[in-house]
């Protein structure tokens, strides 16, 4: 069961960290973990920055180790980031050094752990390497049940991860792609949508909050439909608009506060969405 109050409480703590996870994305992590979480297999994040989404993953996937990979570049201008991204990341981290970013991360994890009575800290491993080195040294050694792709925003960076899904992920893994529809980084979407595994080995499930979520090798195949229906149910009970795509993958948007607060406006809006071509609202 999702406990919205504890999610909000965790969010108040983890949002001390610089970075790019909003409350809705944290809730998405919880919904995913609630629908499918294997208590024995770790979760992987590529691209930690200051650790905000890593902390969120650790809160949501609360039964497993979380491995996180980032070289913690001393200088984003000498990283694979595009120049404008480097400027943005440098600003968004409050110009903290890698050591300061890591220290702050562990402080916040301590705080989170104390409010959750959870061995949060002992479940998290930071690997200060690039994705390439991580894959070179670790690939084939352990497999993961979820991967948050939030690292290099280039076509080659995303593509090279997707290429090794079979060695990296167990069947029924979550693939969570950050910035999938960020118009500033079309290469991410291009790498995902042009990959031969798209809709063959990894299947669209839910899109929202700057992320696209896929299920890797659903087993049995019917699980894919069940998972989509379960997530749609979870979202239909809250203040979101839920729309179905042709393959029943779902698109979720948060309703504006003034709409969410007015049930009459909300129901009129949902009726309108029902009529939109290609989409129908749930149920």
Residues contributing to the site for ligand SAM (CB under 6 A)? 19-21, 46-49, 52-53, 69-71, 73, 79-80, 130-131, 150-152, 157
**CB within 8 A of 246, min separation 6: which ones?**
278
Residue 47 or 212: the one with the smaller Cβ distance to ligand SAM is 47
Cis ω for the linkage preceding 255 (within 30 of 0):
no
C-alpha 52/C-alpha 165 separation (Å) is: 24
Q: How far is the CB of 127 from ligand SAM (least distance, A)?
A: 9
Other CB atoms within 10 Å distance of the CB of residue 254: 17
Q: How far is the CB of 154 from ligand SAM (least distance, A)?
A: 8
Q: How far is the CB of 171 from ligand SAM (least distance, A)?
A: 25
C-alpha 93/C-alpha 25 separation (Å) is: 19
Residue 53 or 145: the one with the smaller Cβ distance to ligand SAM is 53
C-alpha 19/C-alpha 22 separation (Å) is: 9
Q: How far is the CB of 261 from ligand SAM (least distance, A)?
A: 29
Q: How far is the CB of 19 from ligand SAM (least distance, A)?
A: 3
**CB within 8 A of 10, min separation 6: which ones?**
26, 56, 59, 112, 115, 116
With beta carbons less than 8 A apart as the criterion, state whether 30 and 213 touch: no
Residue nearest to ligand SAM (CB): 19
Which three-class secondary structure state does DSSP give residue 277?
Answer: coil
Q: How far is the CB of 187 from ligand SAM (least distance, A)?
A: 13
Residue 46 or 249: the one with the smaller Cβ distance to ligand SAM is 46
C-alpha 69/C-alpha 36 separation (Å) is: 23
With beta carbons less than 8 A apart as the criterion, state whether 207 and 197 touch: no
Residue 52 or 104: the one with the smaller Cβ distance to ligand SAM is 52
Residue 27 or 70: the one with the smaller Cβ distance to ligand SAM is 70
Residue 12 or 268: the one with the smaller Cβ distance to ligand SAM is 12
Torsion sign (Cα): 16, 157, 195, 200: negative
C-alpha 249/C-alpha 272 separation (Å) is: 20
Q: How far is the CB of 152 from ligand SAM (least distance, A)?
A: 4
Residue 98 or 171: the one with the smaller Cβ distance to ligand SAM is 98
């Amino acid at each position: 069961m999702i406990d919205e109050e504890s999610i909000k409480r965790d969010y108040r703590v983890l949002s001390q960290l610089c970075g790019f996870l909003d409350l809705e994305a944290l809730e998405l992590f919880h919904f995913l973990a609630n629908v499918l979480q294997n208590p024995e297999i770790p979760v992987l994040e590529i691209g930690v920055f200051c650790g905000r989404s890593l902390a969120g993953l650790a809160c949501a996937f609360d039964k497993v180790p979380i491995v996180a990979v980032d070289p913690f570049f001393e200088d984003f201008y000498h990283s694979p980031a595009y120049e404008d991204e480097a400027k943005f990341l440098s600003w968004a981290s409050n110009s903290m050094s890698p050591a300061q970013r890591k220290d702050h991360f562990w402080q916040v994890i301590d705080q989170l752990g104390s409010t959750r009575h959870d061995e949060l800290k002992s479940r998290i491993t930071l690997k200060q390497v690039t994705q390439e080195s991580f894959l070179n040294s670790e690939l084939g050694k352990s497999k993961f049940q979820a991967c948050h792709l939030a690292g290099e925003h280039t076509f080659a960076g995303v593509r090279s991860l997707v290429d090794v899904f079979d060695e990296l992920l167990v069947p029924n893994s979550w693939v969570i792609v950050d910035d999938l529809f960020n118009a500033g980084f079309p290469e991410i979407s291009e790498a995902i949508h042009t990959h031969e595994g798209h809709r063959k080995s990894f299947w669209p499930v839910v899109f929202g909050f700057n992320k696209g979520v896929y299920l890797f090798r659903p087993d049995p195949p019917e699980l894919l439909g069940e998972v989509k229906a379960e997530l749609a149910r979870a979202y239909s009970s809250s203040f979101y608009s839920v729309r179905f795509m042709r393959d029943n993958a779902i698109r979720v948007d948060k309703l504006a506060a003034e709409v969410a607060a007015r049930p009459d406006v909300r129901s009129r809006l949902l009726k309108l969405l029902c009529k939109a071509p290609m989409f129908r609202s749930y149920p």
